[in-house]
Amino acid sequence: MVPTDADDHTLVEAAKSGDRRAFQLLFERYERKVYAVAYGFLRSQEDALDVVQDAFIKVFRYLPNFEGQSSFYTWLYRITANLCIDYLRRNTRKKDVEFDDKLRHDGDPESSPVDALPASVLGSPGEAVENKEILTAVEDSLKYLSDKHRAVIVMRELQGLSYADMAKAMNCSKGTIMSRLFHARRNMQKLLRERLEHLPEPSEDGAEEPQTEAALP
Amino acid sequence: MKYDNDIPTQAGDLQAFFDGELEGPDAERMARSVEADAELRAHLGQMTLMRDLVGRSMEMRAAEVPRARFEQIWDEIDRTISEDARSVEAPASFWQRVWSAIRPFRVPAFAAVAAAAVAVVVLRSGDAPPVNQEPEVASVPRSAEPAPPDAKVAPGPASIPAPAIAESFPSPRAADAEIHGIEFGGKQGRISHTGVVTVLYVEEDAATQKSERSL
């Protein structure tokens, strides 16, 4: 019986030899990460959970063919990305804006993206990633990206897939992926800036301005 | 690096550098540029922050899913895996595999067989001897038609299936006919020596019905 803290390679080998418990440990280790990726693509909890289920079933079926040339999670994420892209192709959702790759962010591509995110709101990067309102704004911004732009953002920023793997998954050239990623990042910054502008700026000591009591006479 | 669209070269290269896609001299050149240029460092800082924010927001969303929901998902995965295992352990029988293999041809094959069967029946019925042509004449008298309300129809013969009658009588040779008459239901019939059976159905208010059947 494999220990619960065994590394991925050990669990994969045990699962290959029929150890169902080892495979369950792999599932428990990656279930939320795979869900996060699927949710990033699909924006629906139930659809994302369906993809989690399909991804692990597919992984188990193809486990005998997995030779370990890449890490298990890279392989798992690639399968998840492919399932999500297939899902999006089957259920093409119509978007009013930015579905077409040619629709770009406003402004000159040469312009500096440094201005895109208001530093006064974000504070330090460490504070920003702990701020729930900022994270909600990020999620809302992702929602307004096109499926293609969101796909490259999720595959790159969440999954860390290479340009070659992304090109394979999206059935396009590496150059297209690079361009798509560039514009997706610009769009994301623009959308996020619009949402962050409405957030209250943190006070001097880093705490947010009180909203209710301060407004009362 | 080559781009499909008109992305500024330096911005594209910076992105590739950030994503770890630049190698060798290109990577070294960009590293030197970033070190010397504060604006490029700020760009990299923005991209790093964006990556952290995207990752953290998705993790936050994933943390909201109850553990029980993932347990349900695992149960479904486990059930599917078990079904897979059972299907591998118990391979389909020869006939099941043949049945599966001909799946695309089942409908046309059955249609062809059905058409052939109909053709055989039609052809055979054309060659059949006269004895089997109209069995219903003797067994189903006209009394089967709606009778007047006060009519009394002789019971019996109408309910006997014709083939049974045909099989119950031996095929007589013309000279061996021994039966001279039939009597049932209080009625009588006469059989001639030439092998022709004459059955008479007598009804009270209707004219005598007569039918003939060759044996």
Tokens of A28: 């428990």
| Rg of chain A (C-alpha set) | 20
Interchain pair B77, A125: CB under 8 A: no
Chain B residues touching A188 at Cβ < 8 A: 50, 54
Best CA proximity match to A40, nearest among A155, A164, A169, A134: A155
Interchain pair A157, B43: CB under 8 A: no
Kindly report the length of chain B.
215
Q: What is the mean pLDDT of residues B34-45?
A: 90
Per-residue pLDDT of chain A (217 residues; tens, 9 = 90+): 788 889 999 999 999 998 999 999 999 999 999 999 999 999 899 999 999 999 999 999 999 999 888 889 889 998 999 999 999 888 765 443 343 444 444 444 444 444 456 665 566 666 666 677 888 888 889 989 998 999 999 999 988 889 998 998 888 999 999 999 999 999 998 898 888 876 655 544 444 333 333 322 2
pLDDT at B30 over 70: yes
Please report how many Cα atoms fall inside a 13 Å half-sphere around the Cα of residue A194, on the Cβ side. Answer: 11
Chain A residues touching B51 at Cβ < 8 A: 157
How far, in Å, CA of B144 to CA of B209, rounded? 12
pLDDT value, residue B96 = 73
Percent of chain B with pLDDT over 70: 52
Tokens of A121: 């709101």
Q: Are the beta carbons of A76 and A59 closer than 8 angstroms?
A: yes
Tell me the ipTM for this assembly.
0.75
pLDDT value, residue B179 = 62
Interchain pair A112, B39: CB under 8 A: yes
Range of the domain at A21: 8-90
Backbone angles phi, psi at B180, to 5 degrees: -110, -20
pLDDT value, residue B21 = 94
Best CA proximity match to A52, nearest among A68, A29, A18: A29
Tokens of B208: 């005598």
Chain A residues touching B70 at Cβ < 8 A: 28, 31-32, 35, 52
How far, in Å, CA of B205 to CA of B203, rounded? 6
pLDDT at B17 over 80: yes
Confidence bin at B178 (pLDDT 50/70/90): low
Confidence bin at B206 (pLDDT 50/70/90): low
- What is the number of domains present in chain A? 2
Determine the 3-state secondary structure of A69 from DSSP: coil
Q: Are the beta carbons of B215 and B162 closer than 8 angstroms?
A: no
Assigned domain for A45 exists: yes
Assigned domain for A117 exists: yes
pLDDT value, residue A216 = 28
Backbone angles phi, psi at B101, to 5 degrees: -65, -35
pLDDT at B165 over 70: no
Best CA proximity match to A57, nearest among A72, A78, A79, A35: A79
Size of interface A-B (CB pairs under 8 A): 147
Residue A45: what residue type? Answer: Q
pLDDT averaged over every residue in chain B: 72
Chain A residues touching B73 at Cβ < 8 A: 31, 49, 52-53, 56
Across the interface, of B4, B60, B77, the residue whose CB is closest to A135 is B60
Q: Write down the H helix ranges in A43-155.
A: 45-62, 72-90, 119-122, 125-128, 132-143, 147-153
Q: Please tell me whether residues A85 and A123 are part of one structural domain.
A: no
Chain A residues touching B39 at Cβ < 8 A: 112, 114
Tokens of B89: 């352990």
Count the Cβ atoms, other than its own, within 10 Å of residue A125: 15
pLDDT value, residue B126 = 66
Mean pLDDT lowest for which of B67-81, B94-108, B166-180?
Answer: B166-180
* Most distant CA atoms of chain B, gap in Å: 130
Q: What is the mean pLDDT of residues B117-129?
A: 76
**Can you give the residue ranges of every domain in chain B?**
9-63
Residue A127: what residue type? Answer: E
A97 to chain B, closest Cα gap in Å: 20
Assigned domain for A154 exists: yes
How far, in Å, CA of A83 to CA of A55, rounded? 7
- CATH code for the domain of A43: 1.10.1740.10
pLDDT value, residue A74 = 87
Residue A46 CA from chain centroid, whole number: 16
Q: Are the beta carbons of B174 and B192 closer than 8 angstroms?
A: no
Q: Best mutation site among B2, B5, B84 for testing chain A: the one with the most A CBs within 10 Å?
A: B5
Best CA proximity match to B144, nearest among B133, B155, B129: B155
Tokens of B164: 């049974």
Assigned domain for A56 exists: yes
pLDDT value, residue A26 = 96
- CATH code for the domain of A151: 1.10.10.10
Identify the residue with better confidence: A81 or B145: A81
pLDDT at B160 over 60: no
Assigned domain for A209 exists: no
Across the interface, of B8, B63, B77, the residue whose CB is closest to A56 is B77
Q: Are the beta carbons of B50 and A157 closer than 8 angstroms?
A: yes
Percent of chain B with pLDDT over 90: 22
Integer CA distances (angstroms), B19 to A111, A129, A178, in order? 20, 20, 10
Across the interface, of B12, B15, B61, the residue whose CB is closest to A39 is B61
How far, in Å, CA of A46 to CA of A51, rounded? 9
Assigned domain for A214 exists: no
pLDDT value, residue B123 = 82
B66-95 residue pLDDT tens: 999 999 999 999 999 998 878 776 666 677
Q: Are the beta carbons of B185 and B112 closer than 8 angstroms?
A: no
Interchain pair B62, A109: CB under 8 A: no
